[in-house]
Amino acid sequence: CADKPSESMTPDPIRIGVTLYRQSDTFISLLASDLLDCAKARETQDNVKITLNILDGTGNQGTQNEQVDRFLAQGYDAICVNEVDRTAASVIIDKARAADIPVIFFNREPVEEDMQRWDRAYYVGAIASESGVLQGRIVSNLFNQNPELVDRNGDGKIQYVMLEGEPGHQDAAIRTEYSIKTVTGAGISVEKLANDTANWQRAQASAKMGQWLKDEEIGPRIEVVFSNNDDMALGAIDAYRAAGIEDLPVIVGIDATPPAREAIKEGTLTGTVLNDAKGQAEAIFELAYALSTGWDVKEAVPRLEGQYVWLPHRTITIGNVMQEFDD
Ligand code: BGC
Ligand code: CA
């Protein structure tokens, strides 16, 4: 029944199933707790019961497929999927379609051909190239305003290392490409000293960075550490600390997680780019809720363009971190 619940009857609870690629991911766990907040707020506002069942895919696509199967078998109203393997969407879309249960993907974007299999498949995310451009701009602006803060050896070039997210994730390759393109596009030459994946993870980034710091051809020459996300940028800072190096190079991340905001205030992280977990959670939840209740999706989520919702990024540095967040 798709009727708007009225005061006089007690409607069945709305059931929304969510599966995360890996719950321990910092950004994803923030987004998940924002989703719970959205559901609570809606329950109070509309006087409805909402069951938001959030499961951990534990980095295993097989596990996640089983979780989706269970949601579908139990007749959930909508499912939200943060895919382990973003190229595996077609299986999920076909099953959801057969069960006629709408599916909202988020953060890990399915390929377009898969999205075209069903018009009740949606994606909520942020444009990867935009985050890369804004990250690159933090560095190019700093270089143009204060070249000596960046170009320590004074050769007119930026010597850098790149910490990359998971291979195959749209945000990894695209952020890497656009951050550097933005710097070179501003007329600044660069020299890559090293790059590698640390799979979005702080500990892996710290280990990788520790190896680079020990290498005499790399460590002492690093002027900028570009990181595809904040957790890995914080891992780089951990490695400098562990190596007893206090004079840090320019280090930039993406996400603006609470610990990254702290690091900006303390002066160890130069800047980051807000990946709006709260805005994405709101869009995911409102879309799921509208699809569950039969309300107009475009009205519920004005940012919806076809099957896509894109949330904008914002640059965060010491210049605005206090104003942007009240922590
Ligand atoms: C975030 C990362 C996160 C990844 C997970 C990215 O958009 O920036 O911090 O680990 O998504 O899929
Ligand atoms: Ca230089």
Q: Relative to the alpha carbon of 28, which ligand is closest? A: 1
Rounded-to-integer distance, Cα 237 and Cα 133, Å: 22
Query: Residue 272: CB within 6 Å of ligand 1?
Result: no
Query: Residue 255: CB within 6 Å of ligand 1?
Result: yes
- CA of 231, closest atom in ligand 1: 9
> Three-class SS of residue 118?
coil
Q: Whose CA is nearest to atom 3 of ligand 1?
A: 27
Partnered with residue 54 across adjacent β-strands are: 18
* Short-list 79, 85, 165, 81, CA closest to 128: 165
User: Could you give the C-alpha distances from 322 to 76, 135, 138, 279, 319, in angstroms and in order?
Assistant: 41, 19, 17, 19, 8
* Dihedral sign for Cα atoms in the order 293, 298, 302, 307: positive
Instruction: Give the per-residue pLDDT at 189.
Output: 98
User: Could you give the C-alpha distances from 256 to 27, 40, 51, in angstroms and in order?
Assistant: 9, 24, 29
> Three-class SS of residue 317?
strand
Residue 294 near residue 3, CB atoms below 8 Å = yes
Rounded-to-integer distance, Cα 189 and Cα 158, Å: 6
Rounded-to-integer distance, Cα 2 and Cα 250, Å: 54
Rounded-to-integer distance, Cα 173 and Cα 218, Å: 22
Q: Which amino acid is at 54?
A: I
Q: For residue 283, what are the contacts with CB-CB under 8 A and spacing of at least 6?
A: 124, 301, 303, 304, 309, 311
Q: Relative to the alpha carbon of 27, which ligand is closest? A: 1
Kindly report the length of the chain. 327
Instruction: Give the per-residue pLDDT at 11.
Output: 66
User: Could you give the C-alpha distances from 272 to 96, 136, 180, 276, in angstroms and in order?
Assistant: 37, 10, 15, 12
Rounded-to-integer distance, Cα 231 and Cα 161, Å: 16
Partnered with residue 273 across adjacent β-strands are: 315
Radius of gyration of the chain (CA): 21
Helix orientation angle between 170-185 and 128-145, rounded to the nearest 10 degrees: 30
Query: Residue 229: CB within 6 Å of ligand 1?
Result: yes
Residue 183 near residue 140, CB atoms below 8 Å = yes
Query: Residue 256: CB within 6 Å of ligand 1?
Result: no
Alpha-carbon 279 to chain mean position = 11
Rounded-to-integer distance, Cα 210 and Cα 191, Å: 20
Residue 66 near residue 31, CB atoms below 8 Å = no
Query: Residue 107: CB within 6 Å of ligand 1?
Result: yes
Q: Which amino acid is at 157?
A: K
Per-residue pLDDT tens digits of the chain, which is 327 residues long: 445 444 445 568 999 999 999 999 999 999 999 999 999 999 999 999 999 999 999 999 999 999 999 999 999 999 999 999 999 999 999 999 999 999 999 999 999 999 999 999 999 999 999 999 999 999 999 999 999 999 999 999 999 999 999 999 999 999 999 999 999 999 999 999 999 999 999 999 999 999 999 999 999 999 999 999 999 999 999 999 999 999 999 999 999 999 999 999 999 999 999 999 999 999 999 999 999 999 999 999 999 999 999 999 999 999 999 999 988
Q: Relative to the alpha carbon of 172, which ligand is closest? A: 1
Query: Residue 108: CB within 6 Å of ligand 1?
Result: yes
Neighbour tally for 143: CB within 10 Å:
22
Mutation choice for ligand 1 from 129, 169, 175, 179, CB with most ligand atoms inside 8 A: 169
Rounded-to-integer distance, Cα 82 and Cα 256, Å: 20
Rounded-to-integer distance, Cα 210 and Cα 232, Å: 12
